[in-house]
Amino acid sequence: MPPADDDGVRRAIRQAVSVSVATGAYGISFGALAVAAGLDLAQTAALSLLMFSGGSQFAFIGVLGAGGAGGAAIATAGLLGVRNALYGVRVAPLLAATGWRRYAAAQVTIDESAAVATAQPTLAATRAGFWWTGVGVFVLWGASTILGAVLGDALGDPRRYGLDAAAPAAFLALVWPRLGGGRAGRTARATALAAVVVALALTPVVPAGIPVLAAAAVAIVIGWRGPAPEPVPTPVPVPDRPVQP
């Protein structure tokens, strides 16, 4: 962790802390939903420590909870993790991490750490923002996941508390910022609509987990054949709302 020796670095650390705390509450809901999907405490904790990517984790338990096969759950989680590779491309040259730090940096390369890092004005602030956010979210996400799993276990039937509606609401909150204005937003909205239609149409006729993967195939076709290149939107850190773990 770089020393907090200037205003830019201190501001980056403040942002990192607020983003980390915001994801804590989100981790509680993940823990509760993972238990509701049939995982035990150790499995739920393992997902948050090893997979450590909110979207992938929610999708993974969603597919398993719906009775999908392990292969479909792995594929869905993996596809949702592709964007982390792109974040890595963007932050790696800024971090210039070597040795074991490079592996640590890779593990904590997620929406929040990439967003806070790339939003900073100086190199020192960028590095502070990345590490403080990455490590902060990692610690609080893991702790809150365990808390959520314990609470979820104590609650009993998740449907009584509407927890089965919490998961799609979480996914909606994750996709919402990506459907914004401009031409990129239009393409994203059209893709989202096509994905929903394809997934719902296939649900009665294919095994669980496959409809969601088919929707990803739609996006690959749209993205690959797309018109002129569009700039990749840089995630903007919103202190009170995680960009997307």
Partner 1 sequence: MSTFAMTWWAILAASAVCFALKLAGHLVPDHWLSQPRVARTAALVTVALLAALVGVQTMTAGHQLVVDARLPALAVAAGALALRAPFVVVVLAAAATAAVLRALGM
By CB under 8 A, what part of segment 162-181 binds partner 1? 162-176, 178-179
Residue closest to 226 by CA, chosen among 183, 196, 195: 183
Residue 133 as a binder of partner 1 (CB under 8 A): the answer is no
Which residues is 238 bridged to in the sheet? Answer: 241
CA 227 to CA 77: how far, in whole Å?
28
Residue 53 as a binder of partner 1 (CB under 8 A): the answer is yes
Site for partner 1 in 57-116 (CB under 8 A): 58-60, 62, 64, 66-67, 70, 73-74, 76-90, 92-93, 97, 102-103, 105-107, 109
CA distances from 137 to 17, 44, 170, 235 (A): 8, 16, 18, 16
Site for partner 1 in 206-225 (CB under 8 A): 208, 211-212, 214-216, 218-220, 222-224
What tokens were used for 79?
């596809």
The site for partner 1, by CB under 8 A, has a size of 105
In the bound complex, what is the minimum distance in angstroms from residue 141's beta carbon to partner 1?
13
What tokens were used for 210?
């496959």
User: Whose Cβ is closer to partner 1: residue 122's or residue 171's?
Assistant: 171
What tokens were used for 238?
């919103």
Among 29, 118, 133, 145, binds partner 1 (CB under 8 A): 29
